[in-house]
Amino acid sequence: MARFLIVEARFYDHLNDMLIAGARAALEAEGHEVEVVTVPGALEVPGTIAMAAESDRYDGFVAIGVVIRGETYHFEIVAGESARGIMALTMDGIAIGNGILTTENEAQAIYRADPKQANKGAGAAQAAMALLAMQEKFA
């Protein structure tokens, strides 16, 4: 059994609730412990994971959030920089599943977040578990 921390960028409550439900179900189905913390937005997710990783309280992480394209360049900055931060931490050996959705509209986000449809929350949790297994294999 491992301990996972879901770090959610709480901006679209109804979408995040679906992503968290999918991630939690996937992790708990494998017997893992799950905790959830909330941060203001997707840009705060990598920093929070870095701080939590330093605590040695968690074995893996799932990043959850939704970034929907708007009328400004802000979408590209948030989507790109949050992904870059998560990838940098992964390259440092932290097991992270990236479940931050980047979509053109809310309909796409609903489809991807819904556990009865694309279930990207579960997919992110499965990625985190796979990376943790790799970490253990190569330890």
SS (H, E, C) 17-61: HHHHHHHHHHHHHCCCEEEEEEECCHHHHHHHHHHHHHCCCCCEE
Query: Binning pLDDT at 50, 70 and 90, where does residue 84 land?
Result: very high
- Nearest CA to 5 out of 36, 46, 47 is that of 36
Task: For residue 34, list its beta bridge partners.
Answer: 4
Domain count for the chain: 1
Quote the pLDDT of residue 72. 83
133: helix, coil or strand?
helix
| Host domain of residue 94 | 3-137
Active site residues: 74
Q: Is 4 annotated as a binding residue?
A: no
Q: What is the CATH number of the domain that holds 88?
A: 3.40.50.960
Quote the pLDDT of residue 106. 96
Tokens of 12: 């679209």
- Nearest CA to 115 out of 19, 11, 24 is that of 19
Q: Is 7 annotated as a binding residue?
A: no
Residue 71: pLDDT over 90? no
Question: Whole-model pTM?
Answer: 0.97
| 7-36: average pLDDT | 97
Q: Torsions phi, psi of 131, nearest 5?
A: -65, -35
| 52-63: average pLDDT | 98
Max CA-CA distance within the chain? 46
Quote the pLDDT of residue 128. 98
Pseudo-torsion of CA 15, 117, 87, 32, nearest 10°? 90
Residue 73: pLDDT over 90? no
The residue type of 30 is: E
Q: Is 6 annotated as a binding residue?
A: no
Task: For residue 101, list its beta bridge partners.
Answer: 66
